[in-house]
Structure 1
């Protein structure tokens, strides 16, 4: 036991002497004492040496720059006496933050805390970001071809009318002056213009119910109805003049080869389409809107496209019991026809006399006639070939109508209380369809 203790004591003394030797190599205490003055005494210690200054260190550092430099060289920093911040030589361990950085971080933390507490805002922002993250998403949800066009349309809507008077339950949509901005625009809106435009396009494209849109955007059901009614009329007033009747030269310039080969003078292809509506209570209105062709109460409108597939005319809405000839006469379509134009249609358009008055021509499939050897009706070989040729080209107007009805608010059964917004919905959807790729390839 005694030998073991002697061995530990010898080892400890050897370690202390080694530590003192190492420290002595790093710090030359005599040079420090000589630089700082005679008032500094060095006292030995059992473990580590230390320096005791009998004078005020701050005063000494100021009066003796050489001492100051020596202390800095040996990293002698006395806690409680230094007024300058401590910095690290290594940039990878830099931890200094300015007051501006701290303030910015505090503001960001408060903003994120508030955002996460407001679940409606968080859900709305996440849903909006998901829809507008790329071109495919915006095309799938709204029908607009890409995100760039969506942003441009949103900018047009914001600049067209800075203040909107929103529709309320007390105002009727039959009164077309309700959206004028003569009065106050109403209370402060919870949604931005971009949110409202996106909500309108979502409802038009996907026919989402109001309660679902209210939950996604954090507003009430009545607010969704008010926004949709206001914006569909607003978009109608902006886009209705953008469905134009192009010149004859422009139509021929973009005419596909299939038309140039057979019907080079074709100016447009026309057809009528019907929209299902809820059966009205009034018996007289039921009779006006009942379509024997669809066996349902419908609204009917005339649509025209140029040979390349661009929609160049959409009429107002009529009752489903209205004939194609009556709509063509009273929709304003004939006022756009020029002498020498050829209009392509199906057999239901008995408007040859109306076009003849304007020195235009009608291309429709030939009618069947009675055969001499039986009770049936027939076409000869040339008439069959002409019927097939016209049918192959006239099918493009059916494709345009099919594209138009990808907007579910138009293709579903429309409630009777939304009768006033049917025509604006058709016009807006037709304009968006014109932004898509051409239907007919050259």
Structure 2
């Protein structure tokens, strides 16, 4: 199945033939999960460092394009059906939890980029996204990337997430439930260690992929919670 979908992969540089498709995917997952440097990955898979870069950039873009085709925002009925029973009784109109996520990046060389990515909250250079999940702990919204200088309020206003909701829906912000999801996403070390310049350029795609991968994990919220 994977071979069928990847047979027409457009590689960042040139087609990789020295490593199988499953191993290319595995290399990408290791990079996301453990944030290993190119040299270490090149020794692990017996390929050059340039091939590691080629594979990683190609697969990040491929997974991003494939998963962007999915309508992540479930209907009100589905959200209610999969919500924990106790929560369903107390907060029946809640459609989504939202909170900001900040990921560190290495200090850019350009002064304007330094200014736009500097977060006064983290006291370092970061990129920021808005992440949302349903009461049943499904990641259902991930905004584009913004510089760390942008406030959560500004991201919410620009995201127009309220347009996706129906009249009468409630949106909860900055609650412990969504923080558990954000913590789960940050088990991917690429989100907790400063990204390099090329990784920062791909940070919107990288963050999206890491939180999409969280949806393949077992739910962190019990049905009876």
TM-score, length-scaled by structure 2: 0.94
Contact 2:16 2:51 (C-alpha < 8 Å) held by counterparts: no
| Distance across 2 between alignment mates of 1:418 and 1:199 | 15
Q: Give the gaps of 5 or more residues in structure 1.
A: 1-154, 169-185, 347-393
* Map of 2:69 onto structure 1: 241
* Map of 2:10 onto structure 1: 165
| Distance across 2 between alignment mates of 1:165 and 1:238 | 13
**Secondary structure at the residue paired with 1:316?**
coil
Does 2:41 align with 1:260? no
Per-residue deviation, 1:188: 6.0
| Distance across 1 between alignment mates of 2:39 and 2:71 | 33
Of 175, 190, 209, which aligns to 1:409?
190
Mark the structure with the bigger radius of gyration.
Answer: 1
* Correspondence 1:36-435 to 2 at 5 A: 155-156=1-2, 158-168=3-13, 186=14, 189-242=17-70, 244-346=72-174, 394-435=175-216
**Secondary structure at the residue paired with 2:52?**
helix
Q: Give the gaps of 5 or more residues in structure 2.
A: none
Contact 2:16 2:55 (C-alpha < 8 Å) held by counterparts: no
| Distance across 1 between alignment mates of 2:198 and 2:142 | 23
Per-residue deviation, 1:243: 5.7
Contact 2:105 2:196 (C-alpha < 8 Å) held by counterparts: yes
Residues 243 and 424 of structure 1, relative CA distance in 2, 3 Å threshold: farther
- The structure where strand makes up a greater share of residues is 2
Measured against aligned partners, the alpha-carbon deviations of 1:255-301 in whole angstroms (never above 9, x if no partner) come to: 11231232111111111110001111121221111111111111010
* Map of 1:391 onto structure 2: none
| Distance across 2 between alignment mates of 1:215 and 1:284 | 37
| Distance across 1 between alignment mates of 2:16 and 2:171 | 51
Per-residue deviation, 1:339: 0.5
| Distance across 2 between alignment mates of 1:317 and 1:187 | 29
Contact 1:256 1:440 (C-alpha < 8 Å) held by counterparts: yes
| Distance across 1 between alignment mates of 2:169 and 2:107 | 40
Q: Give the length in aligned residue pairs.
A: 223
| Distance across 2 between alignment mates of 1:273 and 1:304 | 10
Measured against aligned partners, the alpha-carbon deviations of 1:302-353 in whole angstroms (never above 9, x if no partner) come to: 010000111000000001111112111222423212111011114xxxxxxx
Contact 1:304 1:397 (C-alpha < 8 Å) held by counterparts: yes
| Distance across 2 between alignment mates of 1:335 and 1:209 | 41
Does 2:210 align with 1:437? no
| Distance across 2 between alignment mates of 1:188 and 1:298 | 32
Residues 275 and 195 of structure 1, relative CA distance in 2, 3 Å threshold: same
TM-score, length-scaled by structure 1: 0.49
Per-residue deviation, 1:241: 2.8
Measured against aligned partners, the alpha-carbon deviations of 1:10-49 in whole angstroms (never above 9, x if no partner) come to: xxxxxxxxxxxxxxxxxxxxxxxxxxxxxxxxxxxxxxxx
Runs of 4 or more above 4 Å deviation: none
